[in-house]
Structures are given as C-alpha cells and as structure tokens.
Structure 1
Amino acid sequence: MSDFLASTDVALLQRHGLADFDALWNVQLDAVDEPNTGRGGWSSVYRLELEGKGYYLKRQSDYLTRTLHHPFGEPTFAREFRNISRYEQLRIPALQAVFYGERRVAGERRAILMTRALDGWSDLDSLLARWPQLDAVQRVGILQACGQLARTLHRAGQMHGCFYPKHIFLRKRSTGWQAQLIDLEKTRPLLFGKRDRLKDLEPLLRRAGAWSEGDVRCLLATYLQQPADSALVDNWLQRLVQRRREKEAH
C-alpha cells in the first residue's frame, strides 16, 4: 500500500520537511495523552501546528487488530483510514485524513495517521454540559444537526458503532449548525436495517442525559423527516426507550 498524502496539504508539509513517513515518524512532539498499550505494541496521539493550521498526528507500533480478512493482524489505523476514505466517498461529514502510511522496520509494524484538527468545532459532550444555558434556537439547531448527521450516515448504509456525544462535533454557521463524526474505527455496513439503526442511535440518547423527551423528539423528527408528534416518531421513541432500559438493566 502506497502512502496517502492529501494534495491540499502537500506544499505546507514540504515547506516544513514533513511530507514523508520517516519525517513524520521522527518529528519530536508532546503526546496529548498517555499512549495506548496492549495488542503487543503502543499507539499515541500528538498535536502538530503549522502556519496556523492544526493537525493530529497519530503513530503506532505493533498495535494490531486481527480479522477474518487480516488473520495475522494489521495496524488499527489501517481500518480507520479506510473508513475515513469511505465516508468521504459517501459524503458523510467526518474528520479528514492528511497522511497515511505503514512501514515494516526490523520486524516492527509501524503506522501513521494524520488528520486535520477540528479547531472551531465543539464536541457534543461539551455542549450538553451547558445545555440549560443554551437558548431554544441553539438547542433546536444542534438537535436538527445531529438528526441530519445520523440520517445521512444511515442512508449511506453505514453504522458508526460508537455514536456517542464525544464523537460528534458541531459548529455554528450563518446557515445553521453543522455536525460531523470522528473515531470511525468501528464503522461497518448496516446489515440489519432498523435494528442496526436503533442500535446506533440508542447510545447517543443514553449518554445525552440533558435532553428531554421533547429534545429527543426534535432529533428523531429530523432523522425520520416526520413531525415530532407523528406516529412514526412515537414508535421510534418507544423502541429506543425500551432498548435503553434493557441496556441499563444489564
């Protein structure tokens, strides 16, 4: 597999001598948190800023996942990069890749995934923390943006698998709120129709404790393209509440 380098960022990276795998592997940066260990290796995330543009540079060594297609393992970033590329092809709003590459060095399997930082965006978790302070127009805008994001995702035949508030990023624009997704490692195709769609949505609603029933109806109304008091929204709300109770009981 050849390295991927986004054409829009080539010149900037070249000016700083960071347009290839070895340079990105060796550049000295402070990690944003403790590295993940396990799977026989490690994986770490770094913040990189170049001429006012922010990036997240992720490096890993022997941090592998094993599947039927890759019984001997592949870097977990490989799957994430494929999913980022798939989302872009399907026009599902999500984080954007700038660089991806893999190397074998003396038996060690290294991988780099670099993405654009979502500067100017807020994760839904932080918005939920101040939900009571947001005015009605802001709340409706956020709920509609989340509902539209879920609708776009599922209509494209994809299930995120970790549709949590911390993985949904939003920003206010003159035309309204926009939303996009991060953390695509567990994405898979929708295989079981409504069951998978409910399975994807329920964790979001379970974690969004600040939302009232009216808020959830607003999100579902956008998702289903139906009035908030429609029978279809009633049905989906009932199914989601039931699934939430079953999860909490376990």
Structure 2
Amino acid sequence: MSDFLASGELAVLDRHGLSDFDRLWALQLDAVDEPNTGRGGWSSVYRLELEGKGYYLKRQSNYLTRTLHRPLGEPTFAREFRNISRYQALSIPALQAVYYGERRIRGERRAILMTRALDDWSDLESLLEKWPQLSASKRQGILQVCGRTARKLHRAGQVHCCFYPKHIFLRERRDGWQARLIDLEKTRPLLFGMRDRLKDLEPLLRRAQAWSEGDVRVLLAAYLKQPADSALVDNWLERLTRRRCNKEAR
C-alpha cells in the first residue's frame, strides 16, 4: 500500500516538515495514554497541534491482526484506514484520515495513522452524563441524529461492531445536529440482516442508561423512519429489550 496524504492537509504538514513517514515516526510527542502492548508489539496514540488544528498521530510496531485473507498479519491501523476510506466513499459520517503509511524495517513492521481531532465535537458518552440537564429539544435532536446515523450506516451495508456512546461524536449547528463515528477498526459488511442490525444497536442502548423508553422510541423512529408509536418501533423495541436482558443476565 502506498502512503496516503490528504491533499487538504499537505501544505500544513509541509510547512512543519511532517509530510513523510520517517519524520512523523521520529517526532517527539507525549502519549495521551498508556500504549497498548500485545500481538507481539505495541501501539500508541499522540496528540499534536499545527497552526491551530488538532491531530491524533497513532504509531505502532509489530502490532498485527491476522485474518483468513491475511494469515501472516497486517498492522491493525491498515484495517482502520481502509474502513475510514470506505466510510468516506459511502458517505457515512466519520473521522477524517490525514496520513497513512507502513514500513518494514529490519523485520519490524511499522505503521502510522494520523487523523484530524474532533475538537469542536462532543462524544455521546459525555452528553449522557448531563442528560437530565439538557433541554427537551437538545435531547430530541441528539436521539434523532443517532438514529439517522445508524440508519445511514446500515443502509450502506456496514455494521460498526463498536457502536458505543464514546464512539459517536456530535455537534449542534443552526440546521440541526451532526454526527461522526470513530474507532472503525472492527467495522465489517452487514451480512445477516436484522440480526446484524440488532447486534449493532443493542450495545448503544445498553450503555445509554440515561435514556428512557420514550427516548429509545425517538431514536428508533428516526432509524426506521416510522412514528414512535408504530407497530414496527414496538417490534424493534421488544427485540432490543430481549437481547439486552439476555446480555445482562450472562
């Protein structure tokens, strides 16, 4: 795979001498959290700011995932970058890739994935912490955009597989709420119809404990393009509730 560099970010990176793999790898930064270890290597995340723009720079070494298609393994960032590109091609709102590259150096497999930070967005998890304090119109807008985003994702034939509040970023604009999805590494094609769709939605509802049944109905109404009191919303709510109860009983 050749290196990817977003055309809109080239000038900024060039001005700071950061438009190639070696310089991005050598850049001295403080990690935002403890590195992930395992898989025979390590993976770490760093933050940097350039000319008032925020970025996340992720670097990994010998941190591989193996599949039937790639039995010898590949950097986990490779799959994440492919999914970011797929979301963009399918018009599914998600984080933006700035740079991706891989290198093999003396038996070591290195990878870099750089993305724009969503600094003017809020993750749904933080919004849920203050859910009762939000106005009714804000709550309605958030629920509807989450439902519409899930609908767009599934209609495009994809399941996120980590559709959690911390992976849904939101912001309010004059014309309504907008959403973007992050952590796309586990995304896969939607293969099993309703089963896959329920499996994707249930973890979100299980983690959004601040939501009432009425809230969930608003989300499902947007997802299904049906009235909140429709028989179809009733059916989906029943199925999701049953799945949630089975999960919590384990």
Amino acid at match of 2:191: L
User: Aligned Cα RMSD in Å?
Assistant: 0.4
Corresponding residue SS for 2:177? strand
The CA distance in 1 between the partners of 2:181 and 2:220, in whole Å, is 18
TM-score, structure 1 as length reference:
1.00
The CA distance in 2 between the partners of 1:188 and 1:73, in whole Å, is 17
Corresponding residue SS for 1:57? strand
Aligned residue number for residue 208 of structure 2:
208
Aligned residue number for residue 79 of structure 1:
79
TM-score, structure 2 as length reference:
1.00
Structure 1 runs not aligned, ≥5 long: none
Structure 2 runs not aligned, ≥5 long: none
Amino acid at match of 2:215: D
Aligned residue number for residue 170 of structure 1:
170
Aligned residue number for residue 23 of structure 1:
23
What per-residue deviation string (whole Å, max 9, x for no partner) do you get for residues 4-25 of structure 1? 0000000000000000000000
Amino acid at match of 1:102: E
Amino acid at match of 1:169: F
Corresponding residue SS for 1:17? coil
Aligned residue number for residue 195 of structure 1:
195
Correspondence 1:1-250 to 2 at 5 A: 1-250=1-250
Corresponding residue SS for 1:170? strand
Amino acid at match of 1:109: R
The CA distance in 2 between the partners of 1:48 and 1:75, in whole Å, is 22
- Using the TM superposition, give the Cα deviation of residue 86 of structure 1 relative to its aligned residue in structure 2, in angstroms: 0.2
Corresponding residue SS for 1:112? strand
The CA distance in 2 between the partners of 1:102 and 1:42, in whole Å, is 15
Amino acid at match of 2:165: P
- Using the TM superposition, give the Cα deviation of residue 180 of structure 1 relative to its aligned residue in structure 2, in angstroms: 1.1
The CA distance in 1 between the partners of 2:126 and 2:8, in whole Å, is 30
The CA distance in 1 between the partners of 2:66 and 2:197, in whole Å, is 26
Corresponding residue SS for 1:44? strand
Amino acid at match of 1:145: V
The CA distance in 2 between the partners of 1:192 and 1:64, in whole Å, is 27
Identity %, equivalent residues: 81
Corresponding residue SS for 2:101? strand
- Using the TM superposition, give the Cα deviation of residue 208 of structure 1 relative to its aligned residue in structure 2, in angstroms: 0.1
What per-residue deviation string (whole Å, max 9, x for no partner) do you get for residues 79-107 of structure 1? 00000000000000000100000000110
